[in-house]
Amino acid sequence: MIAKKIITAGLIAGAVSLAAANAAKAEEGSDKEKCFGVVKAGMNDCGSADKAHSCMGHATADGNGNEWIALPKGVCEKLVGGSLTAGAGGGEGKASCDGKASCQGKGH
Protein backbone atom coordinates (compact mmCIF):
# COMPACT_ATOMS: atom_id res chain seq x y z
CA MET A 1 0.00 0.00 0.00
CA ILE A 2 2.82 2.43 0.83
CA ALA A 3 4.62 1.56 -2.42
CA LYS A 4 1.43 2.36 -4.35
CA LYS A 5 1.21 5.78 -2.68
CA ILE A 6 4.87 6.50 -3.46
CA ILE A 7 4.42 5.56 -7.11
CA THR A 8 1.26 7.66 -7.37
CA ALA A 9 3.01 10.64 -5.77
CA GLY A 10 5.91 10.24 -8.21
CA LEU A 11 3.56 10.18 -11.21
CA ILE A 12 1.76 13.29 -10.00
CA ALA A 13 5.05 15.12 -9.43
CA GLY A 14 6.20 14.16 -12.93
CA ALA A 15 2.99 15.44 -14.50
CA VAL A 16 3.24 18.75 -12.63
CA SER A 17 6.87 19.15 -13.70
CA LEU A 18 5.97 18.49 -17.33
CA ALA A 19 3.12 21.02 -17.20
CA ALA A 20 5.43 23.64 -15.68
CA ALA A 21 8.01 23.00 -18.37
CA ASN A 22 5.37 23.43 -21.11
CA ALA A 23 4.16 26.68 -19.58
CA ALA A 24 7.71 28.00 -19.31
CA LYS A 25 8.45 27.10 -22.94
CA ALA A 26 5.35 28.96 -24.12
CA GLU A 27 6.55 32.09 -22.35
CA GLU A 28 10.26 31.95 -23.23
CA GLY A 29 10.20 32.68 -26.95
CA SER A 30 10.66 29.05 -27.91
CA ASP A 31 8.82 27.33 -30.73
CA LYS A 32 5.59 27.41 -28.67
CA GLU A 33 3.05 30.15 -28.01
CA LYS A 34 0.03 30.57 -25.75
CA CYS A 35 -3.20 29.99 -27.64
CA PHE A 36 -6.37 31.32 -25.98
CA GLY A 37 -9.95 30.31 -26.70
CA VAL A 38 -9.47 26.78 -28.07
CA VAL A 39 -9.17 24.74 -24.88
CA LYS A 40 -11.68 22.04 -23.95
CA ALA A 41 -12.92 22.13 -20.34
CA GLY A 42 -10.31 20.62 -18.04
CA MET A 43 -7.57 20.57 -20.69
CA ASN A 44 -5.90 23.97 -20.13
CA ASP A 45 -2.20 24.55 -19.46
CA CYS A 46 -1.50 26.42 -16.22
CA GLY A 47 -3.62 29.31 -14.87
CA SER A 48 -6.23 31.42 -16.61
CA ALA A 49 -5.47 34.91 -17.85
CA ASP A 50 -8.24 36.42 -15.72
CA LYS A 51 -6.80 34.79 -12.57
CA ALA A 52 -9.97 32.72 -12.00
CA HIS A 53 -7.62 29.84 -11.12
CA SER A 54 -3.92 29.12 -11.19
CA CYS A 55 -3.85 25.42 -12.05
CA MET A 56 -3.57 23.20 -15.09
CA GLY A 57 -6.76 21.34 -15.92
CA HIS A 58 -9.17 23.71 -14.15
CA ALA A 59 -10.90 25.24 -17.19
CA THR A 60 -14.64 24.90 -16.62
CA ALA A 61 -15.96 25.61 -20.12
CA ASP A 62 -14.97 24.81 -23.70
CA GLY A 63 -13.55 27.71 -25.70
CA ASN A 64 -13.05 30.19 -22.84
CA GLY A 65 -11.00 33.13 -24.15
CA ASN A 66 -9.03 33.34 -20.89
CA GLU A 67 -7.85 29.71 -20.92
CA TRP A 68 -4.79 28.74 -22.93
CA ILE A 69 -2.73 25.84 -24.18
CA ALA A 70 0.82 25.89 -25.53
CA LEU A 71 0.86 25.16 -29.27
CA PRO A 72 3.57 25.32 -31.94
CA LYS A 73 3.97 28.84 -33.32
CA GLY A 74 1.64 29.60 -36.21
CA VAL A 75 -1.00 27.00 -35.32
CA CYS A 76 -3.20 29.05 -32.99
CA GLU A 77 -4.37 31.63 -35.49
CA LYS A 78 -5.42 28.85 -37.88
CA LEU A 79 -7.90 27.44 -35.34
CA VAL A 80 -11.51 28.61 -35.03
CA GLY A 81 -11.68 30.74 -31.88
CA GLY A 82 -7.88 30.76 -31.48
CA SER A 83 -6.20 33.98 -30.38
CA LEU A 84 -2.75 35.00 -29.16
CA THR A 85 -4.48 37.57 -26.91
CA ALA A 86 -6.28 36.62 -23.71
CA GLY A 87 -10.01 37.28 -23.71
CA ALA A 88 -10.16 37.73 -27.47
CA GLY A 89 -10.58 34.11 -28.56
CA GLY A 90 -13.29 31.64 -27.85
CA GLY A 91 -15.43 29.95 -30.44
CA GLU A 92 -18.29 29.23 -28.00
CA GLY A 93 -18.51 25.84 -29.72
CA LYS A 94 -20.24 27.25 -32.82
CA ALA A 95 -19.06 27.48 -36.38
CA SER A 96 -18.90 31.02 -37.73
CA CYS A 97 -21.72 30.24 -40.20
CA ASP A 98 -24.27 28.77 -37.76
CA GLY A 99 -27.74 30.00 -38.63
CA LYS A 100 -26.68 32.39 -41.39
CA ALA A 101 -28.41 32.13 -44.74
CA SER A 102 -25.26 33.34 -46.52
CA CYS A 103 -23.48 30.17 -45.49
CA GLN A 104 -25.89 27.68 -47.04
CA GLY A 105 -24.19 25.32 -49.42
CA LYS A 106 -20.83 25.79 -47.73
CA GLY A 107 -19.60 22.72 -45.90
CA HIS A 108 -19.06 23.15 -42.17
From residue 91, how far is each of 38, 39, 81, 96, 103 by CA, in Å?
7, 10, 4, 8, 17
Closest C-alpha to 40, from 26, 60, 17, 12 = 60
Q: What was the pLDDT predicted at 20?
A: 53
Q: What is the pLDDT of residues 3-53, one digit of tens each?
A: 666 665 555 655 545 555 555 545 555 899 999 999 999 999 988 988 888
Alpha carbons within 13 A on the beta-carbon side of 95: 9
Q: What is the pLDDT of residues 70-94, one digit of tens each?
A: 999 999 999 999 999 998 766 544 3
Where residue 98 falls among pLDDT bands split at 50, 70, 90?
A: very low
Buried b (16+ CB within 10 A) or exposed e, 57-96: eebeebbbbbbbbbbeeeebeeeebbbeebeebbbeeeee
